[in-house]
Structures are given as C-alpha cells and as structure tokens.
C-alpha cells in the first residue's frame, strides 16, 4: 500500500545544535535560519544585499586588449603556455563575501526556570517546516514558536506563545567569523504595546554599514528595557518583526519601524501564504513511497538513500529552498543563508557551473520567480559585462565574469591555475535559462533580445583568427575549470566556447531575423570549428589537434551542447550523442563535488542513460551531503554548506522523467531506480503546455498535456516504452496540439523483439 499525499515539509525531534541544521525560510530578499531551541530561541537573519567590503568593490577589468593579438598568435603557433602571460602579475581578488546580519534571541528572563545545556529535550518537542507555507514551527511543553519571512510585506516574522511568558529579547551580532573591528551599536526603546530594538553595524575601513530593526508587540504582560534588549514578563504571546537594510550614512530606524505592517501574526501569514503557496504548489512530485518512511524525521530518512520517500522529500525541499532564496537575486552558493561570516568562495554567485545548475528547474518546474531573479542579476550587470569585453578583449558586446557578489559584474579573477578571465562563453551560458523561460511562457523579454544581440556583437569582433583548416579559431579559449593533460589552461577551441559562440550567433539571428546583422551572424556560425571526436571515441573537450584529455574532473563544460543546449541529442545527432555518452562514461568525479554529480545526472538524462542518472543521484543521496535542514553541502560528509545539490536535484529528477524542446517532448527518458512509480504534475514545456505524468511499476504511464498555445511536436519515449496506437496519430507523425484542448498520451512497455 502506498501513501499518495504530497510531501508538505520535514521535521525533527530536537532543536538544531548547529546553524547548518537550522530550518530555513526566505522571501528572496530576507532569509531566516531557525534553530528552534525553546530555551535559547535563536533566528539568524540574512539579507541578499549583505556583502562585506573587502577592497574589490571598485575593481575594474584591466586594460589587456593591446596584448591580445600577441597571445593569440603565440597560441596558434604552438606556444601552449602563452595565455599564462595574458594578465600575469595581477593579484587574485575575491568578490565581497556574503555574511549574516545578526541573530534574534529570545531567552528566559533571570529567575525563571530553564533547561541547562546537555539536559534532555522536553517531552513532546517537535520542530518542523511547512514547504507550502514557508512557516517554521517549534513546539514544546505548551510553548510554540513560529517563524516565516513574508513575501507580501518583506519582513521576518516571529511569534512566540505560551502561558506567562517571561523572556529577554535581543539582537545579537556575535556570530562566528564576525570581524573583530565591526563597529556595532545597539539600542532598545519602549513603544505603546511593546518596544523597538535596533542594531547598527559599520564595516571596518568602509563608509558602508547595515541596520537591523525589530518591532516587538506583546499580548498582555509588561515590557521593560533590559540593557541593550527588552524584557517581557507575564505575556501570553509576543510578535517580533525584523528587517535589515544595507546603506551608506545614517539610517532612520523610526521611519523603518513606521513602515512595518501593524497586523497580527495570522493576518501577516495569510498575505504571505497567498503568494508562497501559489508558487510552491504549481508543480509537485509524488512517488510510490512507504508511508512509514514518509513519516520519519529528515535526519532518519537521510539514512535511507534508496528510499523513494527520501527522493520525494528532497525534491520538495529543493523546490522550497530554491523559491525561498530567489527574489531580488537568484540563489548564491549558500542560497540566501549563512550563519558564519567566513563563507566558502565568498558565498558568491559562481557562474561557470553552479548558478545555472541551481536554477536549472526554474522554467520546467514552473518557478517564474526564480527565472525573474536570475534575470535581475544578468540584466543588472550588462554595463559591467560591456566593460569586460572592451578592456580585456577590445571588443564590442559583453563578457560575463565567473564570480560576482551580486553588485559588480566586472572580471577580477586572474590566476595561473584558474584563468577565469579567459572564459568567454559565460554570457551565452547565463542567458540560456532565460531563453528556456521565454520558450516556456511564450513571451520574449525585449531585454533578452538586446542581450543576445550584444553577445553576438562580441563574437563578431572576437572571432578574428582562423586555424589551418580555414575555420574560425577561438583563441584564447578556456574550458572551466579544466586544462588539457599536455598544455596550460588557456588554449584554442574549447568545446564549450564553440557551442556558446554558435548558439549565441544563431539565437540572436533567430530572435531578430530581419536585423541587418542576422545573415552575417549565420555565416559566421557556419565557419566555427566542428566538434572533435577523440581517439577514445569521446567528444573531446578541446577541438584542437594535439590537446590531450583530462577526464577526472568535476566540471562537464564540454557537454554544454548536450545539456542544456540540446544541440547534440540522440534524435537529431545520434553519432555525436554516442560520442558525448562516451565522454560521460570516461568522466571522473574528481573531488566529489556535489555539483559535479548532479551535472552528470542532467547530461545522462539527455542521453537517455537511466543507470548513470541513478548512479549520480545515489552518489549524492548516499554521500552524506545533506544537513538535517535538508540544505546540502559541497563535499561529502556535510563539508562546506552549499546549495548546489539541494537546488539542482529537482532539475535532475524532472529531466529524467520529462524533457522538452520547442518541437519535441520526451517522456520517461531515464527514470531513476528509486522512482518505481509516481506522479509528476505541473511541469512546463518549451512548446507552451503544462504536463501531468503518472507512471506505474508495471511499466505503463499516462501523460496529460494542457496546451496554452498551438504547437506541433515530435513525441519520443525512453527505450523501454512505446506510445499506444492512435495516441499521437499515424506512426512517426507529429502531434498537433490546440490551445485549451487537453491531450492524453498512453504509454506501455515495449515488447522484446523476437
């Protein structure tokens, strides 16, 4: 017997002992990390804008364009280390690191009973997070603490209730890694019905600062000032509303407080849920899972890596965390959350793999909020990208950086081992999720057309050299973050660069077919190098003679034409698809980074390799990558808090079950082993239909298409399935869809030949 109830959240029987295990809430601007301890009730407050000045904020791309010609000539002449001299001597400058603001603390007032450290959790304790509402709750001995971050009112909302509350409330800046010279000022004042807490933090050696404001409202009891906090005695409940602002100069806490909503907790929650639930429930995955496993706390379920209930819950959690961390910006390496000022890789947006993997489910998973957050980052930095193209390459158009803090989009990462300033494919790579979103919703943002035009402009100027075969040579060229076994990092004709240049030129021409430059761009795309198949029968990472492969690497940049571009696929280019599959077979996992495993799963799904999808997913599920919060880590054994696995997992699952292109639908191409049966609802396709899919353990399946526009599509299935007769008209004929008319497809197991 199976339980068909959709997953609604996760829970734990004890408070979080580490900030990494705190349950998460967010509205895409503010984030909250809820530890749920009834004695020391701590909520770490985050905000997407909080990056610490480190001297990099005004760094501009260096003027290197006058050296470019010499480097290009040297590389084409066989000097495999020539690119090391392009930008050498410049210091490696990290972007401004993301950091937490402070934590709110609600602790027992002096003289009241409290649990000592090490004592058992009170009977009946439970903390939980409801993915559909975004509300985190901790219940213990008649006391209940509830937290959410409002999408409607942009405020962190905390509500604590219980008989005769006697607590101290404060804003605490003492978080791990905080700079010792952080200038902190705190204040507490009484107001009618409660009080106000403020915290002002000035960064060392900077005119920048940030301010936190919390308004306290109490039901019954007395409020008094206690040091730099407030004391509540004899109250039935308290409500705490918190906001953070990063700014220059003086902030006005009174004005900020006046702007906070005056409603009670339930009214605030209702307004928020109306927005959050609508987004979260647009799509869902329900697997045929054991009800007993479904009922387990997350920490226990994580010990069952092959359980459908685990995959189901992580899919829901990943969707929840992705939505919650996307708003003014898309998710960082840590999503929207950190409890430590010392964030790995500055808690940046790493754009050469991680960011795109995290947002990969946005279009198909019906999360336009995520796509719009990604658009805000991309379009907000185009001016800086233009500076990069001009200064480094002497070209018009745009070049994206490999790292950004969300403020500056200038290239600044110069290093011999990782010469990220040589990566020219970034703009096309970062625009691809926005193209997918445009195809899904059927509306093209004029900013997208303009950005594609600027990427094409760059390639028109940059692609000025030819190789011995007379084709365009992309030089210098870089495949993140790998190098040939017999050459330095900067080379010629990296496969990712070829794919990006071709895609950008053709996409620009397609979106603006009457533009006077379109014909020239198509012609330039036709002169790009062909992909190379190496002596191992694999799609080579560099399409330049003599460059040897380095297979054991976490990045799969050279498989960009497979995922997400779909330029190489088993239907249109079977020979190249076979070579890409061979490249995937030979790829190692290097240092076991979570993003490498999930990237492999996405590529394997496009190549209809369910076994490899299952192996990649299991490497993550069995590798102890997930904290009790169901947020993930970068490495196994929960090493380095990182959102890559949590956010990319839903995309890998969707791609294994449903894939779409503007003229194609692929059903169940590579279902994972721990998905014997289930239902995926609300998936959006690139031809303008939503889709509900139900598949069964006997191998049969039913798909229902809900078209929002007319379309003509080719329907394909995984190798183990075939369409029932008459589902798609005559054999091999395209399926005609009419807007507003549902279409049902029945699938059944393919009979063995003979």
Q: How confident is the model at residue 6 (pLDDT cuts 50, 70, 90)?
A: very low
Q: How confident is the model at residue 720 (pLDDT cuts 50, 70, 90)?
A: confident
| Residue 113 confidence (pLDDT) | 60
Is 396 inside a domain boundary? no
State how far Cα 491 lies from the chain centre: 30
Q: How confident is the model at residue 692 (pLDDT cuts 50, 70, 90)?
A: very high
Q: How confident is the model at residue 3 (pLDDT cuts 50, 70, 90)?
A: very low
- What's the burial of 744, exposed, middle or buried (CB within 10 Å: 0-12/13-18/19+)? exposed
Q: How confident is the model at residue 688 (pLDDT cuts 50, 70, 90)?
A: very high
Q: Find out whether 108 and 166 touch, Cβ atoms under 8 Å.
A: yes
Strand partners, 25: 32
- Residue scoring higher pLDDT (93 or 283): 283
- Residue scoring higher pLDDT (425 or 111): 425
Residue given tokens 């006391």 in the structure block: 143
| Residue 219 confidence (pLDDT) | 96
Is 477 inside a domain boundary? no
414: helix, coil or strand? coil
Is 111 inside a domain boundary? yes
Q: How confident is the model at residue 89 (pLDDT cuts 50, 70, 90)?
A: confident
Q: How confident is the model at residue 2 (pLDDT cuts 50, 70, 90)?
A: very low
| Residue 5 confidence (pLDDT) | 42
Residues of the chain with pLDDT > 70, as a percent, come to 97
Residue 90 has pLDDT above 90, yes or no: no
d(CA 199, CA 432): 41
658-661 sheet: strands from edge to edge: 658-661, 664-667, 711-717, 735-737
Report pLDDT digits (tens) over 635-678: 999 999 999 999 999 999 999 999 999 999 999 999 999 888 99
Report pLDDT digits (tens) over 537-572: 999 999 999 999 999 999 999 999 999 999 999 999
In total, how many domains does the chain have?
Answer: 1
Residue 374 has pLDDT above 50, yes or no: yes
Instruction: Write the DSSP assignment of 311-372 as a string of letters.
Output: HHHHHHHHHHHHHHT-SSS--BTTBT--S-S--GGGG-EETTTHHHHHTTTTTTTT-HHHHH
Report pLDDT digits (tens) over 417-454: 888 999 999 999 999 999 999 999 999 999 999 999 99
Report pLDDT digits (tens) over 489-533: 999 999 999 999 999 999 999 988 888 889 999 999 999 999 999
Q: Tell me, what CATH number does 104's domain have? A: 2.70.98.50
Parent domain of 143: 9-51+99-298
Residue 583 has pLDDT above 50, yes or no: yes
- Close Cβ partners of 58 (under 8 Å, ≥ 6 residues apart): none
Is 215 inside a domain boundary? yes
| Residue 7 confidence (pLDDT) | 63
| Residue 4 confidence (pLDDT) | 37
Residue 332 has pLDDT above 80, yes or no: yes
109: helix, coil or strand? coil
Region of residue 159 (left: phi > 0; alpha: psi -120 to 50; beta: else): beta
Residue 393 has pLDDT above 60, yes or no: yes
Q: Find out whether 296 and 11 touch, Cβ atoms under 8 Å.
A: no
Is 426 inside a domain boundary? no
Is 226 inside a domain boundary? yes
* Residue 723: count of CB within 10 angstroms of its CB: 19
| Residue 665 confidence (pLDDT) | 98
d(CA 705, CA 188): 57
Report pLDDT digits (tens) over 121-143: 777 899 999 999 999 999 998 89
Rounded (5°) CA angle 730-735-738: 135
Is 77 inside a domain boundary? no
Q: Find out whether 19 and 142 touch, Cβ atoms under 8 Å.
A: no
Query: What's the token pair of residue 657?
Result: 């079950």
Report pLDDT digits (tens) over 213-243: 999 999 999 999 999 999 999 999 999 999 9
Residue 350 has pLDDT above 50, yes or no: yes
Query: What's the token pair of residue 608?
Result: 């209809």
Rounded (5°) CA angle 415-340-645: 70
Residue 575 has pLDDT above 50, yes or no: yes
| Residue 121 confidence (pLDDT) | 76
Residue 730 has pLDDT above 60, yes or no: no
Q: Find out whether 671 and 695 touch, Cβ atoms under 8 Å.
A: yes
State the maximum Cα–Cα separation within the chain, in Å, rounded to a whole number. Answer: 85
Secondary structure of 113-161 in the HEC alphabet? CCCCCCCCCCCCCEEEEECCCCEEEEEECCEEEEEEECCCCCCEEEEEE
Q: How confident is the model at residue 684 (pLDDT cuts 50, 70, 90)?
A: very high
pTM, full prediction: 0.96
- Residue scoring higher pLDDT (97 or 89): 97
Residue 727 has pLDDT above 70, yes or no: no
Is 208 inside a domain boundary? yes
Looking at the chain, the number of H-run helices and the number of E-run strands are 17, 30
């Amino acid at each position: 017997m199976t339980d068909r109830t959709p997953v609604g959240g996760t829970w734990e029987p004890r408070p979080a002992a580490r900030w990494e295990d705190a349950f998460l809430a967010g509205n895409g601007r503010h984030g909250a990390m809820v530890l749920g301890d009834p004695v020391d009730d701590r909520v770490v407050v985050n905000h997407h804008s909080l990056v610490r000045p480190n001297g990099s904020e005004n760094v501009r791309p260096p003027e290197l364009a006058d050296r470019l010609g010499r480097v290009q000539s040297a590389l084409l002449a066989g000097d495999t280390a020539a690119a090391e001299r392009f930008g050498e001597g410049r210091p490696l400058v990290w972007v401004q690191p993301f950091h937490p603001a402070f934590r709110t603390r609600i602790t027992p007032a002096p003289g009241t009973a409290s649990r000592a450290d090490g004592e058992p959790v009170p009977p009946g304790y439970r903390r939980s997070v409801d993915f559909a509402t975004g509300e985190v709750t901790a219940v213990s001995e008649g006391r209940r603490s509830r937290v959410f971050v409002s999408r409607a009112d942009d405020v962190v909302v905390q509500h604590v209730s219980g008989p005769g509350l006697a607590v101290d409330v404060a804003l605490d800046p003492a978080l791990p890694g905080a700079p010792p010279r952080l200038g902190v000022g705190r204040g507490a004042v009484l107001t009618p019905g409660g009080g106000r807490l403020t915290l002002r933090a000035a960064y060392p050696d900077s005119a920048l600062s940030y301010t936190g404001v919390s308004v306290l409202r109490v039901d019954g009891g007395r409020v008094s000032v206690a040091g730099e906090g407030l004391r509540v005695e004899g109250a039935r409940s308290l409500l705490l509303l918190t906001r953070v602002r990063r700014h220059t100069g003086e902030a006005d806490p009174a004005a900020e407080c006046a702007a906070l909503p005056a409603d009670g907790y339930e009214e605030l929650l209702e307004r928020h849920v109306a927005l959050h639930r609508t987004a979260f429930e647009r799509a869902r995955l329900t697997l045929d899972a054991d009800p007993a496993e479904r009922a387990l706390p997350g920490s226990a379920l994580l010990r069952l890596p092959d359980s459908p209930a685990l995959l189901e819950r992580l899919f829901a959690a990943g969707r929840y965390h992705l939505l919650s961390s996307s708003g003014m910006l898309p998710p960082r390496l840590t999503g929207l959350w950190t409890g430590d000022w010392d964030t790995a890789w500055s808690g940046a947006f790493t754009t050469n793999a991680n960011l795109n993997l995290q947002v990969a489910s946005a279009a198909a998973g019906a999360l336009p909020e995520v796509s719009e957050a990604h658009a805000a980052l991309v379009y907000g930095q185009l001016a800086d990208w233009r500076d990069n193209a001009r200064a480094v390459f002497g070209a018009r158009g745009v070049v994206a950086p490999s790292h950004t803090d969300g403020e500056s989009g200038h290239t600044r990462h110069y290093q011999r081992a990782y010469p990220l300033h040589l990566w020219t494919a970034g703009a096309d790579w970062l625009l691809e999720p926005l193209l997918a979103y445009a195809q899904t919703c059927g509306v093209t943002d004029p900013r997208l057309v303009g950005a594609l035009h600027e990427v094409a402009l760059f390639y028109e100027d940059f692609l000025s050299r030819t190789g011995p075969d007379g084709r365009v040579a992309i030089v210098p060229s870089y495949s993140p973050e790998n190098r040939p076994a017999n050459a330095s990092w900067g080379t010629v004709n990296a496969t990712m660069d070829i794919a990006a240049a071709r895609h950008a030129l053709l996409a620009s021409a397609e979106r603006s077919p009457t533009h006077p430059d379109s014909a020239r761009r198509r012609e330039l795309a036709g002169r790009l190098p062909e992909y190379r198949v190496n002596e191992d029968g694999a799609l080579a990472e560099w399409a330049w003679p003599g460059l040897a492969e380095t297979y054991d690497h976490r990045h799969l940049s050279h498989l960009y034409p497979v995922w997400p571009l779909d330029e190489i696929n088993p239907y249109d280019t079977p020979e190249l698809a076979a070579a890409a599959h061979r490249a995937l077979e030979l790829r190692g996992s290097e240092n076991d980074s979570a993003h490498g495993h999930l990237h492999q799963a996405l590529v394997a799904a496009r190549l209809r390799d369910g076994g490899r999808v299952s192996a990649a997913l299991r490497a993550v599920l069995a590798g102890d990558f997930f904290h009790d919060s169901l947020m993930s880590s970068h490495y196994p054994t929960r090493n380095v808090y990182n959102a890559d696995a949590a956010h990319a997992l839903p995309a890998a699952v969707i791609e294994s079950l449903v894939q779409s292109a503007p003229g194609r639908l692929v059903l169940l191409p590579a279902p994972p082993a721990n998905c014997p049966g289930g239902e995926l609802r609300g998936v959006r396709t690139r031809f303008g239909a939503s889709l509900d899919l139900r598949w069964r353990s006997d191998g049969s399946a039913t798909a229902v298409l809900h078209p929002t526009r007319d379309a003509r599509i080719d329907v394909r299935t995984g190798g183990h399935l075939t369409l029932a007769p008459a589902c798609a008209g005559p054999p091999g004929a395209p399926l005609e869809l009419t807007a507003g008319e549902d279409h049902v497809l029945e699938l059944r197991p393919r009979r063995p030949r003979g």
